[in-house]
Amino acid sequence: MPKSAQGALVVNVGDFLQLITNDKFKSVEHRVVAQSSTTRSSVACFFGPGSENKYRLYGPAKELVLLGGDHVEPVYREVHLVEFLDYFKSNGSPLSHFKLS
Give the span between the Cα atoms of 98 and 101, in whole angstroms: 9
Please report which confidence band the pLDDT of residue 36 belongs to, taking 50, 70 and 90 as the band edges.
confident
Please name the amino acid found at residue 65. V
Answer left, alpha or beta for residue 16, where phi above 0 means left and psi between -120 and 50 means alpha.
Answer: alpha
Give the span between the Cα atoms of 52 and 77, in whole angstroms: 21
Please report which confidence band the pLDDT of residue 25 belongs to, taking 50, 70 and 90 as the band edges.
confident
pLDDT, tens digit, for every residue of 56-86? 999 998 887 776 667 788 999 999 989 999 9
User: Buried (b) or exposed (e) across 34-60, using 16+ Cβ within 10 A?
Assistant: eeeeeeeeeeeeeeeeeeeeeeeebbb
CB 20 within 8 A of CB 59: yes
Asked if pLDDT for residue 18 goes beyond 90, the answer is yes
In the predicted model, what is the mean pLDDT of the chain? 84
